[in-house]
Amino acid sequence: VIDLPHLPPSCPVARLLTTGKVRRRRSSRVTAIGTDSMHAMAPAHSNATDEEKDTLLNSTHGTGSAQFFPWPAVRRQRCTPHSLVVLILLIAAAVLVLGEFSCVKPFQEQLVRLRHCPQHVLGVNGLEPLDTLATRAPAKPLRLPNDKSRVLVTGGCGFVGFHLAQRLASKGHMVIALDDFNPYYSPTLKRDRALQLQSMYSGLVRVVEGDLCDGKLLRRILSEYSPSHVVNLAAQAGVRYSLQQPQAYVRTNIRCFVELLEALREAPSTKLVYASSSSVYGSNKDSPFSETQRADNPNSLYAASKKANEAIAMVYHKLYNISVTGLRFFTVYGPWGRPDMAYFSFAHKMMKGLPVTVYGYGKPQRDFTYIDDIITGVEGAMALGAPYEIFNLGNNEPVGLMHFIRVLEKELGVTAVLNYTDMAPGDVLSTHADVERAHRLLGYKPTTTIEEGLRKYVAWFKSPLYKEEYSTEGLWRTGKGWDRYTG
């Protein structure tokens, strides 16, 4: 409720609030429509009848539907500076609430950000948003402005980092791709991604080989390039490998993540977007998985490390006001992907005539999400620049494992040899992303079906870009560790 004291009756603001009618000035005086509002705002003639007031009006200024005020006491009053300030505040409030002024293009993006940057609290039921203003999704996915900004992408030669670097560089942004090229999966694949980036976007992508735990290196990069965003995609991935090499997950996913946050304390204007995982939902029985559900029952050390990322990020946001957005990825797949993922290893084994191990006797379901849809969500989170947020990025359409295998068989033109077995330790039976929140705040709307996505993946898999060593290299195949990686 807005209190508007001391507004003179002749002020357009007062007239608008009392009668709902305002006319433009014909002279130095304010005109009004009709006589009812004049009678209501004429204290000097409060005892006169309506007929007497009409007679006075007509005798003084003639007849007509629009008349000047005849009372000198009222006529001398003008809109004060105070009332003009109130009018300006009313207009500003209308702009912020409605947010629909398409005629102000330069400010449109800022209006969207104001409407879609809610505050949050972490309650007993998980993330509890206070976003009552964000009631409608943007018409299109949020995009970064074409301001040629600089972005640090950690894990920049990994699967998601590679595709994000491509998207950003194609729009003219400079990308610093930090990667340690560790041997968890094929280093050849990672270095070939780096070559692709440098050959396609020479001058816009700089590949830096280094360790995320190297605080001095991080501070030097932040100081030298002053990036607008850091997108942290560097992590030790894989649920099953965490059973064999737990120290790798503690070091990379927790210790190195804290090192990055410490470096960002010295660059408070830089916004952080980081990769979390759908695995944080653990053995959650509620489907689809929503950001407001509890995520405190992990099934693996990998899941626990990702949940720790979210908790640590919240602490640094609260203590140091760092802008942090976590993205829970759901089973990302596509060209240049990870060889330890099912779609990659299945395709390799099928083409070689090797048996494919089907866990859970084919009953598991996964919310497979194509890489291009994921990258659109990541860019939307960067454009939003929220103080603190967590989003699901999935396809909102779980696919049964057997259907997934049949589609892959069709695209490869082979019939798979299948060996059925029990669920693997640490795995979950089903994942299903509720992406309503990402849709409402980011305009996120995945469009790629499993059939279309696997068709694109197989086209790359059968192209000269694919190399056999991509599928045969890597510690994930043997479960062995790497000294620097686990130390």
Q: Is the separation of the CB atoms in 265 and 320 below 8 Å?
A: yes
Q: Is the separation of the CB atoms in 374 and 160 below 8 Å?
A: yes
Distance CA 268, CA 350 (A): 49
Distance CA 3, CA 363 (A): 63
Indicate the residue type of 485.
Y
Q: Is the separation of the CB atoms in 253 and 309 below 8 Å?
A: yes
Q: Angle at Cα 358 formed by Cα 357 and Cα 363, nearest 5°?
A: 170
For residue 259, CA distances in Å to 179, 226, 252, 255, 321 come to 15, 17, 10, 6, 16
Q: Is the separation of the CB atoms in 365 and 291 below 8 Å?
A: no
Which residues are bridge partners to 229 per DSSP?
Answer: 151, 271
DSSP string over 442-462:
H-------HHHHHHHHHHHHT
DSSP assigned state of 475 = G
N residues, the chain: 487
Q: Which residues contact 306 (CB under 8 A, 6 or more apart)?
A: 235, 253, 276, 277, 279, 280
Query: At what angle are helices 159-170 and 187-200 packed, to 10 degrees?
Result: 0
**Taking phi first (over 0 means left), then psi (-120 to 50 degrees means alpha), and beta for anything else, what does residue 158 get?**
beta
DSSP assigned state of 433 = B
Structure-token pair, residue 303: 């899941």
Q: Is 420 a catalytic residue?
A: no
Strand boundaries in 249-387, DSSP class E: 271-277, 324-329, 332-333, 355-358, 365-366, 369-370
Residue 283: CB atoms within 10 Å:
10
Distance CA 436, CA 440 (A): 6
Q: Which candidate in 249, 274, 302, 370 is catalytic? A: 302
Tell me which residues are annotated as active site: 302
